[in-house]
Amino acid sequence: MAELEDSSQPRLAAGCRWSGEGADRTLVFPEGALRLQETARAILERCDGQRTFRQIVEELTSAYNASDPAKIRHDAKTFLRRLQEKRLVDF
Amino acid sequence: MLPSPLAIIAEITHRCPLHCVYCSNPLQMASPASELKTSEWEKVFEQAAKLGVLHIHFSGGEPLAREDLCRLVSAAHGRGLYTNLITSGIGLTEARLEELVKAGIDHIQLSLQDSNATNADWIAGTRAHVLKLAIAPAIQRSGVAFTINIVVHRRNVDHLEEMISLAESLGPQRLEIAHTQYYGWAWKNAEQLLPTHKQVLESLEVVAAAQKRLEGKIRIDAVVPDYYARFPKACMGGWGRRQMLIDPAGVALPCHAAAVIPGLRFENVRDRALEWIWRESESFQKFRGENWMPEPCRSCDRRTEDFGGCRCQAFMITGDATATDPVCSLAPARKLIDQKLERVNSAEEKSLSAEDLLPIQQENFWVYRPQPK
């Protein structure tokens, strides 16, 4: 199984894309769809295959004015790994 | 308020170059002359998008048998719908695949009938296996999400490990391993297809081991055989709750098999708006929610998980569509399922003898699904 490193550039997996706009924005993928909570969505919308995982964590830390970057890092990592297991995210 | 359907199964034709003995198409297939026209499907997709539908599953028959498939995919994609092609691969060329990708296909599901050509072609009733293997690499290279579908039953489940290896070599992101569900042609062939208890247990182990081994590489979704389960499946995610099926002639159904239930009037998308059919039509309301439920379902804690199981199965086995799904261990009619399983399991040694795998010499072994007329 792939490891999520600081230098990894996570991206949506094949066949996984956004649908709809605004509050209705939904992640659609083979045989399913997810309407994500705000933070989960903030993580995933940054997974564009360009930003590194380190950059994503930095952006989230400043966007949420978070006092505990280590926790953000940990939560984002857990979340992305889970989506990778479901083959919704590649890195 | 009633939520919108999440997905529409667009059964765009019942024509198919394959004759699979486990096919879930109804025994009364829609004739080619009755099929909805391109513009009629386009109207359906427009209405579906407005209704809040997310997925369109292009199914059949073989969807590629329709020459306008790319136009249909493009119409659905243009409305923002997620497009899924469920195919045997027969009729798919690299050129057509390229057109489909341009049209906006999101996901392709390719079926396999077995790991070796002889058996696979026997099950499909035609020489298809080698053609499937020939087109699979192009699907993999296209960058479209790729799923391999394997339907398992007594005649192929002993090759499940080999089938998984074959699927793995074709490079999909996802693998669907579904035990046959007994409707349509599969119901007609149930006695030949039902696996033995031993086979079911072994298959569950094989699937669990593969899921572990392929974690993060191939996602494996498995459908268990409900005849061997203690509780029924949440059929279609509940009647009229998540999905709608539109048959080739435009008839809107709550599931693949619903037309077997007598006394239900099904609406046609040619005559009625999709939203009205979903919200107001008698057939979609008939078994929606819990009011129709008998005991023991009505007071059962599981009723919000399985929604009372499958109405078609209840009718096919007990003659009463409102009966508790007979696969449920709490159902009064469970003994009818047990009797079937007893016949299958006691005949095990005999039916799995070597001659069985040389079917060509056997006449009337099972019923192949024909072409619609």
What does the pLDDT read at residue B347?
73
Say if residue A2's pLDDT is above 80.
Answer: no
Report how far residue B75's alpha carbon sits from residue B55's, in angstroms, rounded to the nearest whole number.
13
Q: Are B173 and B12 in contact (CB under 8 A)?
A: no
SS (HEC) of B281-313: CHHHHHCCCCCCCCCCCCCCCCHHHHCCCCHHH
Query: What DSSP string runs through B99-145?
Result: HHHHHT--EEEEEE--SSHHHHHHHHTSS-HHHHHHHHHHHHHHTSE
What is the percent of chain B where pLDDT is above 70? 96
- Whether B58 and chain A come into contact, CB under 8 Å, resolves to no
Say if residue A18's pLDDT is above 60.
Answer: yes
Q: How many residues does this entry show for chain B?
A: 373
* Confidence band, pLDDT 50/70/90 cuts, at residue B365: confident
C-alpha dihedral sign at B119, B125, B126, B131:
negative
Give the containing element (helix H, strand E) for B207: helix B197-213
What is the percent of chain B where pLDDT is above 90? 92
Give the one of B146, B216, B218 whose C-beta lies nearest to A2's C-beta: B216
What does the pLDDT read at residue B357?
53
Say if residue B350's pLDDT is above 90.
Answer: no
- DSSP 8-state symbol, B158: G
Tell me the sheet residues that pair with B82. Answer: B55
Q: Compute the nearest-CA separation of A22 from chain B (Å).
A: 14
Q: What are the tens digits of pLDDT across the range B52-109?
A: 999 999 999 999 999 999 999 999 999 999 999 999 999 999 999 999 999 999 999 9
What does the pLDDT read at residue B362?
58
Say if residue B195's pLDDT is above 70.
Answer: yes
Please, is B258 exposed, middle or buried when counting C-beta atoms within 10 Å of its C-beta (0-12, 13-18, 19+)? buried
Say if residue A21's pLDDT is above 90.
Answer: no
Q: What are the tens digits of pLDDT across the range B252-265?
A: 999 999 999 999 99
Say if residue B222's pLDDT is above 70.
Answer: yes
Q: Which residues of A touch B (CB under 8 A)?
A: 1-2, 13-17, 19-20, 26, 28-31, 33, 84-87
Report how far residue B188's alpha carbon sits from residue B323's, in angstroms, rounded to the nearest whole number.
21
Tell me the sheet residues that pair with B115. Answer: none
- pTM (2 decimals)? 0.94
Q: What are the tens digits of pLDDT across the range B284-337?
A: 999 999 999 999 999 999 999 999 999 999 999 999 999 999 999 999 999 999
ipTM for the assembly: 0.89
Q: Compute the nearest-CA separation of A75 from chain B (Å).
A: 19
Rounded to the nearest 10 degrees, the angle between the axes of helix A69-85 and helix A38-45 is: 80
What does the pLDDT read at residue A65?
81
* Confidence band, pLDDT 50/70/90 cuts, at residue B359: low
Helix or strand or coil: residue B58? strand
B145/A86 CB distance under 8 A: no
User: Which of A43-57, A65-79, B150-164, B287-301 is least confident?
Assistant: A65-79
The total of other beta-carbon atoms located within 10 Å of residue B151's CB is 24
Helix or strand or coil: residue B147? strand
If you average pLDDT over every residue of chain B, what do you get? 94
